[in-house]
Amino acid sequence: MFDFEIVARAGRSRAGVFTTPHGELLTPLFAPVGTQAAVKAVTPAQLQDVEASLVLANTYHLYLRPGDELIRDLGGLHQFMQWPRPLLTDSGGFQVFSLAATRRVDEDGVTFRSHIDGSEHRFTPEKAILIQENLGADIIMTLDECADPKDRLYVDGAMRRTHAWAKRCLAAKRRNDQALFAIVQGGIDPALRTASAQFISRLGTPGIAIGGLSVGESKAEMLDMLDLVTSILPEGKPRYLMGVGTPEDLIEGVRLGIDLFDCVLPTRLARHHAAFSSEGRLNLMNAAFSHDERPIDSTCDCYTCMTFSRAYLRHLIAARELLAGTLLSIHNLSSLIRLMQHLRAAILEGTLPATADALMQQWSNNAVRGIPA
């Protein structure tokens, strides 16, 4: 049910096909994030229009609201959000990590307070699996602990807990129609990352995720860890880099053999009036666009670029029309999905090195700095 076939290679890069109950995933790919069973400002039909093949939803948020049992009783997450293609849910580990002031971690699990009403809750590996089985995504994650990469002593303990929790998640899993991915941790310490990659690889899960990156370390440190980890992971399993999604990171990740990516960046940028383009990132709130009849990007064939001018989009932003966020999100999501399609095509055609270099030069003008949450 969860076969992964590598159909072409270019160095470490792979073009693959990962089969799930809700369809095939052509890798490498970028997955939009639908934190609360919705990609912000975008309908499921619009996601299909931009050729999104996989959407991520958040276990922590859906557990708190509306509740995983309610979603189960209403037919599962696919039915609940009307998304017919594959879904992935994380374990909630990163969200709990972000609640540093209100959580307590022990060897058995983590206790935390809801950001909604302050009520106390507890996640154990078994509970994380039960919630995700209730949600019913095609790809689910083991419970992990994402630690501050600068605190090596704590990272070591968090990694060991992550390993123990992964084994408990495997033992707790009951559904055969869900692929459980275990997560590599270890911060930015080469010895810890090596130990984690080796341990997680031995568990035999149908895919492997790489967590704990893009959480405060430098870009060079992140790439060094990716280079190390992907040299250790088994070749025949899909590799998922969690929460990383700038255009430059996608290109470098593909070069290093990553297959799946997700990130909130495209829709977050859209909410702050920013758009990817072949000219560089545009802030469409800028008055310079008020008479600009061109699309965001003349090389883009998304609905937004085929239909509307920069001037119109700038007007929507200035008028605080909600449509602005939808149209910019459509474009930004389409841009990253098309980027991944270009990289996949280059792997299949044997032109990846030159194509990746050209794309990196183009996308380097889209550096993302200072975008609020």
Residues marked active site are found at: 90, 262
Rounded-to-5 percentages of helix, strand, coil across the chain = 45, 20, 40
Contacts of 370 (CB under 8 A, 6+ apart): none
| In contact, 208 and 182? CB cutoff 8 Å | yes
Between CA 56 and CA 33 the distance in angstroms is 5
The DSSP output letter for 154 is H
Helices (H) and strands (E) in the chain, counts: 15, 16
Determine which helix (DSSP H) or strand (DSSP E) holds 127, and give its type and residue range. Answer: helix 125-135
Amino acid present at 127 = K
Taking alpha carbons only, the member of 224, 220, 268 closest to residue 243 is 268
- In the structure encoding, which two tokens stand for residue 152, read together? 């090596």
Between CA 72 and CA 79 the distance in angstroms is 9
| In contact, 109 and 122? CB cutoff 8 Å | yes
- CA Rg, the chain, in Å? 20
Write the DSSP assignment of 190-257 as a string of letters. Answer: HHHHHHHHHHHHHT--SEEEE-S-SSSS-HHHHHHHHHHHHTTS-TTS-EEETT---HHHHHHHHHTT
- In the structure encoding, which two tokens stand for residue 273, read together? 């009036």
Distance from first CA to last CA of the chain, Å, rounded? Answer: 37
